[in-house]
Amino acid sequence: MGRKMRQTELGARGPFSRLAWVVGLSSLVMGGVDAALPRRLLADEIVGLTTDFSTGSVTTIGTTAPWNTQIDVASICSDPVGRAFGDRVYIVGRFGCDAIQVLNPFNGYQTQIEFAVGSNPQDIWVLAPNRAYVSFYESNTLLEVNPQTGATLGSISLAQFADNDGLVEMHRMFVHGRYLYVQLQRLDRGQFPYVPVAPSMLAVVDLVTETLVDVDPGSPGMQAIALTATNPIAPMAIDLTSGDLLVPCTGAFGVMNDGGIERVDLTDWESDGMWLSGPAMNGDLVDFSTWSATRAFVIVSDASFNTALHLINPSTGVKGAAVFAPGGFTLSDCLTHHNGSLFVTDRDFFDPGVRVFSAETGAPLSGLVPTGLPPFELFVRPDFPSDVADALSTPRGSLFAAPPWPNPSSGEVRLRVAEGASVARIDVLDALGRRVASLEASRGGMVRWDGRSGAGREVAAGEYFLRAARADGGGESVRVLVVR
């Protein structure tokens, strides 16, 4: 398939869509307007999904020392994954549970609703409080639901991308602009362990028209994004330097050099090669987390099923020495927080918990933080997404055409003022509301912040707000995370 530039309203890299009108979804809590500012400034926390695969629970962990925990704040499925969107936590109950559980953190993590969705769901992506997509392992139907009521809103068949056994094996999802990207593992179930059938793919769904996108209209039939590596296995993220989508793939289990982390160009919907190659990884990929252009972390399982956390340099594709190697298949997830902490699950049978390291140096910041049951997956609440701007998250009437991009950022941040918006001034505020810098929009409405204060010094890593002030004194803020 040759290189091609698609022509859409999103333009190059697509972060500044003119599609904000599409969203009659002004109730979205992902946009970050002034009304939501006080809640968003509350201390965030790590949500840990814990399980011994017979029972499951939720434990919360503070993001700073002494890493205060609340153990077993909610009972959940014993095979869970989850996400935080807005002011709710969404638990996907996978094998044997087949349900979505919505938790309210502001009411003691009580269950707001739990509803069945079908056989072995794998992920949920919430676009609005009343609109979400759910992927499935045992079905070729991508489901659209209302997570407030459990009602089915629609469905999209991905059956045309199945291999010979008739299933696509959907897994994790990611939203960029107006498009939803769905991992298709394409596993041959005729042998055990299942073997991925090349190519694994990313199906692309247009969230405005609610239809599949043909990424290569010049070829016969409907085309998805073909991956070089196989068996995408973990949540995806955006490369902070290129804007490419990073797709973690493990390949065939037990084969040490066939996976890796692949870069997918979201401008032309093609693979840009490997961010971390299978031979360099030399193991089965379990999970990864980025920190900067030259620093990221990966959990790898060796041929004897011993997991270890390694430092990697994304700019060179080189895997460094192990940061933590406890032996056994004990590490399942890692997560960098914008305050410079790296959280890692330790599923040791006798002494499970979370370990905290410095994302800057790899040095341990704590001993074991107990979690009750063994921790399986970690995410941050409120959500600090590692993706770029989502056109669907900009409320109707916003002063901004779309949220800032890239976000998080280690360098320049860009956003565009909405056409016709009356903006008198744009300020950069720190988390305490202090003005850091003042910005001006270009003739086309583009606003650029170079990550520096008004005095020209690089700001520290952390949370900042770009606030547009109207001439009448009103305004609107969007959040930016700076990583160093």
How would you classify residue 462: left for phi > 0, otherwise alpha for psi between -120 and 50, otherwise beta? left
Three-state SS sequence of 253-269: CCCCCCCEEEEEECCCC
Query: How many residues are there in the chain?
Result: 484
Q: E-assigned strands of 362-459? A: 369-370, 375-381, 413-416, 425-430, 435-439, 446-449
Backbone phi and psi for residue 218, each to the nearest 5 degrees, phi listed first: -80, -10
Cα 261 to Cα 244: distance, rounded to the nearest angstrom: 11
- Reported as type and span, the H/E element at residue 174 is strand 170-176
Residues near 9 by beta carbon (within 8 Å), at least 6 away in sequence: 17, 18, 19
Residue of 285, 290, 292, 281 lying closest to 307 (CA atoms)? 285
Q: Does pTM top 0.85 for this prediction?
A: no
pLDDT in tens, the chain (484 residues): 333 333 332 332 332 232 232 333 322 333 332 333 333 334 589 999 999 999 999 999 999 999 999 999 999 999 999 999 878 999 999 999 999 999 999 999 999 999 999 999 999 999 888 999 999 999 999 999 999 999 999 999 999 999 999 999 999 999 887 899 999 999 999 888 899 999 999 999 998 889 999 999 999 999 999 999 999 999 999 886 777 899 999 999 999 999 999 999 988 899 999 999 999 999 999 999 998 878 999 999 999 999 999 999 988 889 998 999 999 999 999 999 878 899 999 999 999 999 999 998 999 999 999 999 999 999 998 754 333 233 333 443 467 776 787 877 878 888 877 777 777 788 898 876 778 899 887 766 788 899 998 888 888 888 888 888 876 666 777 888 887 7
- Please name each of the domains of the chain with its CATH number: 20-381 (2.130.10.10), 400-482 (2.60.40.10)
- Check: CB of residue 330 under 8 Å from CB of residue 307: yes
Cα 130 to Cα 316: distance, rounded to the nearest angstrom: 43
Cα 401 to Cα 421: distance, rounded to the nearest angstrom: 9
- Check: CB of residue 320 under 8 Å from CB of residue 312: yes
Residues near 350 by beta carbon (within 8 Å), at least 6 away in sequence: none
Provide Rg for the chain, Cα atoms. Answer: 21
